[in-house]
Amino acid sequence: MKQNEADNPPQPKRFKVVYADPPWDIAQKGARGASQHYDVMSLERIKAMPIGDLADDNSTLLLWVTNAALPAGLEVMEAWGFRYITNVVWDKYYIGLGNYFRGSHEILLHGVRGKAPFKFHGQRSTLLFPRQDHSRKPEEMIPLIERVLDGPYLELFARQRPNSHKDWSIWGNEIDSDITIPGYPVPSDFARQSTVNGDREG
């Protein structure tokens, strides 16, 4: 190895777009709540994720929140180093639960860090996509994000790999993750480590 390479090790990849759908534990503990379908996370645990270390100095955060988690989402956005700009509403074509208005939509918060160019200004802020399986977000979001923002892209809490040829990386506990997040182990981290240890022993 050359001396300058030793002195300047490769820097970890940083992303222009972070797309996240956290498993909020806010108002999700009932018989029909998210906790019946997957593991949820506390607000403090989500806020403590070192996402600022993964995001480019000029980047965008797209963060899904439920109505109950809206104030928490704004806290997370600030904790991760982004400032709130605007939001998008997903109309899910059904009547859900609610103590006041019956919930039929979810909100995608849009935040930026530094200067994050937005390359297409014709996108509506209301998304008319059918409801998916519990908490699953529309697959149409991937081409929409690619249309308005340049990558590289990182999807957090992903459940499936994006159907795209663009530069996407994923992380989550239900999928083979492309990155590791210190302090937030997922199953694929252990599988990857087992493979490395096996190679060394072989």
Amino acid identity of residue 116, one-letter, is A
Distance CA 23, CA 128 (A): 23
CATH architecture label of 12-201:
3-Layer(aba) Sandwich (3.40)
Highest mean pLDDT among 2-16, 25-39, 96-110: 96-110
**Virtual torsion, Cα 99, 100, 106, 111, nearest 10 deg:** -110
Task: At 75, list the tokens.
Answer: 């806290």
In this prediction, residue 70 carries a pLDDT of 96
In this prediction, residue 148 carries a pLDDT of 97
The residue ranges of every structural domain in the chain are 12-201
79-83, 110-114, 124-128, range with the lowest pLDDT: 124-128
In this prediction, residue 93 carries a pLDDT of 79
Q: Kindly tell me if the per-residue pLDDT of 183 is higher than 70.
A: yes
Considering the chain, what is the average pLDDT of its residues? 85
Q: Residue 168 forms beta bridges with which residues?
A: 153
Strand order in the sheet with 105-113: 126-128, 83-91, 105-113, 55-65, 15-20, 153-156, 168-171
* pTM of the predicted protein model: 0.84
Q: Kindly tell me if the per-residue pLDDT of 35 is higher than 50.
A: no
In this prediction, residue 194 carries a pLDDT of 52
Task: At 173, list the tokens.
Answer: 């506990």
Higher pLDDT, 192 or 93: 93
Q: Can you point out the beta strands (E) in the chain?
A: 15-20, 55-65, 83-91, 105-113, 126-128, 153-156, 168-171
The residue-averaged pLDDT of 42-59 equals 97
